[in-house]
């Protein structure tokens, strides 16, 4: 678990991920949280089915690099968004992140704070040297989260911007 000024970042285990997918507030009940109105995008559902659940179930892998980390607002005792690390560090020491804020909590700085918390955590992991991310060009808010966390734009395609943050304490 990671704690920031306003958030608790909690990595979900396999059973909690199954409850998360149901969107029936069973996860919120288990975590003793207030109910959240959230939906799962088709893209996230596909990621769950094809990658996240398989990797979290694989005991040979560190599930922290594959699971969904949920952001819980301390003040509201509610889940406000999620972040996923897309696998263990690669040969270059990079981890990729993807994230989203639930609609009712957007534009309040929660995701900027959550990404900052994950960066702090990643800085303590021995094999992580950089954090990378990709954002849709049209998703200005997502790009702002990365800029505020000192990511540098490294390249772009017709639809995507690619970002990198080199961790300062790493060679």
pLDDT value for 158: 97
Read off the tokens for 51. Answer: 């990658």
Task: Write down the residue that tokens 């808010």 correspond to.
Answer: 141
pLDDT at 40 over 80: yes
pLDDT value for 171: 53
Report the SS3 class of residue 147: helix
Let me know: does 135 contact 143? Beta carbons within 8 Å: yes
Let me know: does 133 contact 98? Beta carbons within 8 Å: yes
Length of the chain: 171
Count Cβ atoms within 10 A of the Cβ of residue 4 and give its class: 0-12 exposed, 13-18 middle, 19 or more buried: middle
The answer to whether the Cα torsion of 160, 161, 165, 171 is positive or negative is positive
Q: For 80-97, what is each residue's pLDDT tens digit? A: 999 999 999 999 999 999
The hierarchical CATH code for the domain 2-166 is 3.40.630.30
User: What does the domain layout of the chain look like in residue ranges?
Assistant: 2-166
| Mean pLDDT of all residues in 60-71 | 94
pLDDT at 170 over 80: no
**Cα Rg, the chain, nearest whole Å:** 15
Let me know: does 163 contact 137? Beta carbons within 8 Å: no
């Amino acid at each position: 678990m990671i704690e920031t000024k306003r958030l608790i970042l909690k990595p979900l285990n396999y059973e909690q991920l199954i409850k998360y997918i149901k969107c029936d507030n069973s996860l919120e009940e288990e975590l003793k949280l207030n109910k959240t109105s959230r939906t799962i995008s088709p893209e996230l559902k596909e990621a769950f089915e094809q990658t996240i659940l398989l990797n979290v179930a694989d005991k040979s892998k560190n599930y922290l690099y594959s699971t969904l980390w949920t952001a819980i607002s301390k003040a509201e005792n509610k889940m406000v968004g999620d972040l996923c690390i897309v696998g263990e560090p690669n040969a270059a020491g990079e981890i990729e992140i993807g994230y989203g804020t639930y609609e009712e909590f957007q534009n309040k700085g929660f995701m900027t704070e959550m990404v900052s918390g994950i960066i702090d955590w990643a800085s303590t992991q021995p094999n992580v040297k950089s954090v990378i991310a990709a954002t849709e060009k049209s998703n200005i808010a997502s790009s702002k989260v990365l800029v505020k966390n000192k990511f540098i734009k490294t390249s772009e395609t017709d639809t995507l911007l690619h970002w990198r943050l080199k961790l300062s304490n790493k060679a």
